[in-house]
Structure 1
């Protein structure tokens, strides 16, 4: 069982300023994520913003235009920052607000910081230009860049003390991270191709005649691009179904946060399924009103109740 530590009732001005910075980064750069964490109480929302701001820094290094050797050095700088956080060596008046907020979060909550090391490892895989022959190969990458973040986030959410099966919460959080990442990969397939990256497994691409890649706003000639997308959508849906078993293990507001974030991606997956070729023309997204609806649905607890009913039927 994972329990969130009761946060301090008094937070110093420098720490509050650091959290405000992280929340600004989150609001500006992660609108889907921001919709979900709005549903959390203030201490958990601040902590999730700190985790996002650190993760955004790592991702920005990997996605930037600097030479790879400079990127590698900067990634090791972020790893050194994690060491300072673990060692309690970040002061409240440190000039890096992300460091201050992350250090305070690590004091407040039982966050497994090793998951952020895994994120750095995943971005290093991008720097090496790794490609993936099979889904099992791609899962390793997805677990680094997304599954690990699910497990880290669980340290903030905590699990309900009397929740049956709470020992499996990290597994479900990891699986939900895989579902989100696979959805991201489908959404960004053209953008990634323009950056010289291919994430979908090579054996899947070959099966559907898509090995030529996605450098054009139309499918490769003679390919079954729609078949490829629908195949990956089914895989993502199975991951969502398994990962959603996390919801009944969380308190109401944490469950609402997860349901909102995951719900936005599930609806994005629906759009991609309806019009597969849209991902080759540009980034598919949801309008704000639809994201707001998903957030309200998450807060209502409907998804959690549905998962609970399915679990009860399965046990019966």
Structure 2
């Protein structure tokens, strides 16, 4: 596990799992929060699910509430900035607290070192950003990595639900301006500068709780919610820092949905890449119902044999992940130019892991898919070209 949308028709074949789940949120992104007058397949499946199952809200609907909350926070921030005639917060290089300036610089420098040591690919991507933005990303990334380490790090076997509760209390202190250590100082400062909602951070902690208690996911609805908790949340944390391009005509919700899709896509890619490694720890992050439909079981995962059934199953899973990347692409073009290149680079590089899985003949049991350095370098100018194209007409 790692700590940064689908048109489905009610009559679609149950074995077609290729399309992302939350495409329908794109249709709910008008400024007045009403559904589009043009009906969509995905809005139909939501109504179909409620009418037939009459169960609790889908994972997609629950996550969309967080998207709406974050969008409302951004709108309020914009109104306050306009009324007070202040510069945009993302261009403000000063701290709003009383923290000593030298201590603050030291905090961000420690975050930079942490990122460089733990995730070199991510760190190199941040170097494509403006200095103030990269500092904020380092602070957020460090918190996410430390949170992830609670359940996947060297001392993960000693982590208890109580530890995560204490971590959440510490998170509240960070957002209230009471940092505990040097890394917390950086995140507290970042949270004071940007319209970042605390909910995605809390939701990530919920994802860590799932890893302590849950090792199987019955269907994609369950897996989607897990992917949101541990990775989709990163997208919602990041957009307030990156900012939306002034010329963008897209709704705030649609841009956040695209960021969410990128996080989901990245996590699905992690899951598909790490099937063998997760199996060693007794975890299977694949929808149980889809495995059964493909004629596969947990035992097949633990045996780790690449069969025709497995190849067919993996093709469908990869197709779904790519559809999430496709939806993410629509929103990347709406981001501020200062960070667009870095985000495009991240998307293109991570998506190539899926190509590597295919190149390994779908053997994600004993072969780890990775992207060669040469391919990474080739992707950078491609990402730059896409970044320079500017905002699209996502709102329509």
Q: TM-score, normalised by structure 1?
A: 0.88
- Which runs of structure 2 are paired with 1:87-236 in the superposition (5 Å)? 87-90=176-179, 96-167=181-252, 168-211=254-297, 212-219=299-306, 224-236=309-321
2:385 to 288, 301, 316: 301
SS at match of 1:249: coil
Q: Are the structure 2 counterparts of residues 183 and 303 from structure 1 closer, same or farther at C-alpha, using a change threshold of 3 Å?
A: farther
**Structure number with higher helix proportion:** 1
Identify the residue that residue 8 of structure 2 maps to in structure 1: none
Runs (5+) with no aligned partner, structure 2? 1-70, 79-87
Q: Within 2, Cα distance between the matches of 1:142 and 1:192?
A: 15
Runs (5+) with no aligned partner, structure 1? none
SS at match of 1:104: helix
Larger radius of gyration: 2
Q: Within 2, Cα distance between the matches of 1:194 and 1:307?
A: 44
Q: Within 1, Cα distance between the matches of 2:160 and 2:318?
A: 33
Q: Are the structure 2 counterparts of residues 302 and 205 from structure 1 closer, same or farther at C-alpha, using a change threshold of 3 Å?
A: same
Q: Within 2, Cα distance between the matches of 1:118 and 1:75?
A: 12
Kindly provide the CA deviation profile for residues 246-279 of structure 1, in whole angstroms up to 9, marking residues without a partner as x.
1121112311111111111111111212334332
How well do the aligned residues superpose, as a CA RMSD in angstroms? 2.4
SS at match of 1:305: coil
Identify the residue that residue 14 of structure 2 maps to in structure 1: none
Kindly provide the CA deviation profile for residues 149-200 of structure 1, in whole angstroms up to 9, marking residues without a partner as x.
1011111101123311132111111111111110110001111111111111
1:32 to 111, 121, 141: 121
Kindly provide the CA deviation profile for residues 195-233 of structure 1, in whole angstroms up to 9, marking residues without a partner as x.
1111110012112233124234533xx661111111011
Work out whether residues 166 and 249 of structure 1, in 8 Å CA contact, stay in contact via their aligned partners in 2.
no
SS at match of 1:281: coil
**Cα drift, residue 78 of structure 1:** 1.9
SS at match of 1:224: helix
Work out whether residues 186 and 279 of structure 1, in 8 Å CA contact, stay in contact via their aligned partners in 2.
yes
2:111 to 22, 43, 62: 22
Matched pairs, number: 305
Q: Are the structure 2 counterparts of residues 259 and 140 from structure 1 closer, same or farther at C-alpha, using a change threshold of 3 Å?
A: same
Kindly provide the CA deviation profile for residues 7-58 of structure 1, in whole angstroms up to 9, marking residues without a partner as x.
2257822111111111122122223322321211111111111111111111
State which drifts further: 275-284 or 66-75. 66-75
Q: Are the structure 2 counterparts of residues 272 and 63 from structure 1 closer, same or farther at C-alpha, using a change threshold of 3 Å?
A: same
Q: Within 1, Cα distance between the matches of 2:104 and 2:141?
A: 16
Work out whether residues 225 and 276 of structure 1, in 8 Å CA contact, stay in contact via their aligned partners in 2.
no
Runs (4+) off by over 6 Å: none
1:260 to 322, 334, 345: 345
Q: TM-score, normalised by structure 2?
A: 0.71
SS at match of 1:180: helix
Is 2:162 aligned against 1:73? yes
Q: Within 2, Cα distance between the matches of 1:78 and 1:118?
A: 12
